[in-house]
Chain A
């Protein structure tokens, strides 16, 4: 049974913050198929379209019939643990510091054998296990074997903590807590056991029922933060940057306008100021401290979450400038991910469909409740995925985008 993760003691300020030695990140292009599945929390392996045989490790030609028609298909994830070991002297510092590191050889149901990292509650071989694909600290896919049945506190296992960003006992900054999304996010995080929620708010003269609600919660500390103001971002980063373990960027400017619906570019500029430049300012302000704390104890810095929009993938012309600002933010988020992943911080991009708020008043249902978005973020942090498509509209759009991007462009026109 996993040891229950206790609330960590207050950090000794005289103690040096441990740095994170990265696990090996080099992979073949074929192996990135595993990463693509892990990013979505799916379990997929290559399967031969010709002879139906499962393949592992990833390859270019079928090991059974030589066909090159290998496709990534969902595998049920069952398997039998055949042998196990605990590596006490890995050659990489990452594993040495985390030794003993349990590893097993698992025969996948209907398929080949695979080396997998073992959850601490896996039994002796031979025994049944469930396989998952998780992203490791380097952002690469790792096969993880879980015990066949859930065990108490199993998410507190060191392997699960290393491959996910569970908010439990962590400090979280929500960059704009003044909105329904911000409020829902704070509540979801408190429910998930977050140690402390910093709620950012701009324009203090504007009253907000959501903010007043949060002000009353003991786990919430409200902090002034205006993402359109570089000095504001820098100032707050200077005060709390070294304490934030998870940053959730909820700051958003959203107007539902077509290109021709009004003259000038003021609205578009404001959307870019918040949605794109705001992210950039936050990344410059909070990125360095976050990157330096990826190994700061079991509840160290772990993740950066961007609330984007499904229309970042393909423009919704009815919300032209909003879509464009989210597309710009997505591009920046990809670069931020590349930079953060080299330091062991995960960047999660959330692609919701229309959220049920003021600015989507005229959008037909189904619409996402702010609570649903918040729940999807907490779940994604716990599961360790990096791309999140909450709700039916987002999932439907993603499927259409993957099937036929040109078709989707026309359908949205």
Chain B
């Protein structure tokens, strides 16, 4: 059965709690700042928020439940989404159906993490049972090690080169230059990328996101609620999620998008060629390339040619990760997937952190998360449209 289209669900109020490399504050602080940012942006009180979805790696031992008492919320709908970089898409999917059904009117989707000096090591050493048993004792490379294996396979199998990955990283850095919230705003050249030190061959320094502290948030509601609140918003056209896709693949060369993209475009009533920009999950450029292929912008194995014929800059062809992505903004833990979603909303309501994509009407946001063992398990994507646009499925 085909997924039911969304009935006038919109997203609004993109909020980013500025990222910092390290913080002595806790995850609760970052999530509370995100919540305060939403309240302030919309001009409501926190009591008006009757639905809440939370994602965080460092909130423990609390979950979303503990957090509501911490900040004095009494929502009638609550989700804790522990899906890493897929959390934004999954929060959005859950929230969209909740506001459609009337289980909540105004859902705050927030994600954030702190980053103490030793947080990252502690998080990766105890990330999952499989990781603790069968990955971390093999070099303790964290995600760098896992993605190095995937990248090595990808390069040999499809012929992608370091220059191809470098081009994506360099383009994203160019996009970040105008973004005052990006932690990296120094121009990057391909020569600098290629000359950067190896971290876990073939992964170089500039292939890796930098763990940091921060938070992102947005609101999900029905269109009439947004109108009543006079909120600029973007329409939700379609979404997918998939967990543990293609478990028989001996190494991850594709993600759940390859299984579900037709459902995504069918639900949204659009095609890949209609998309004006892509916010891909970019913890490593190989994953960005995988998403470009699996989401149907080119065929599997054609990513290399696609990279060579596009510029990926905001003002060029195929604008990608227009705020600079995690590679330039930093990876604030579970907020890593929210980063692309809030930037997509910003582009579609005409208020980007950096530069505006010309005539941005349709944006695709992709999420990816949880290297439980040898591969990322959670994948998701959403297509958003500028309000009042003609593209996409007709509202009923």
Contacts and interface: CB of A to CB of B under 8 A. Distances in A.
Contacts of B135: 115
A57 B203 CA distance: 25
A142 interface: yes
B153 A91 contact: no
- Which of B142, B152, B203 has the largest number of chain A CB atoms within 10 A? B152
Contacts of A24: 125, 132, 136-137, 140
B22 interface: no
Contacts of A143: 134, 138
B201 interface: yes
A56 B121 CA distance: 24
A28 B137 CA distance: 12
Contacts of A331: none
A226 interface: no
Nearest to A84: B152
Interface stretch (A100-108, A288-296, A309-317, A351-359): A100-108
Contact of A28 (B125, B132, B138, B152): B132
B203 to A, nearest CB: 7
Contacts of B126: 26
Contacts of A100: 201
Interface string B115-148: 0000011001110011011111111111011001
A27 B145 contact: no
Contact of B138 (A26, A82, A88, A116): A116
Given A26-B126, A91-B120, A114 B134 contact: yes
A61 interface: no
Interface residues of B, number: 38
B199 interface: yes
Contacts of B201: 85-86, 88, 100
A125 B139 contact: no
Given A27-B133, A117-B138, A57 B373 contact: yes
Interface string A21-41: 001101110110000000000
Contacts of A86: 198, 200-201
Nearest to B155: A83
B251 A88 contact: no
B273 interface: no
B200 A88 contact: yes
A87 B198 CA distance: 9
B250 interface: yes
Interface of B: 120-121, 124-126, 129-130, 132-142, 144-145, 148-150, 152-153, 156, 197-203, 247, 250-251, 373-374
Given A85-B203, A87-B200, A89-B200, 7 more contacts: A56-B134, A58-B133, A85-B152, A88-B201, A101-B141, A103-B138, A114-B134
Interface of A: 23-24, 26-28, 30-31, 56-58, 63, 82-92, 94-95, 100-101, 103-105, 107, 112-117, 125, 136, 138, 140, 142-143
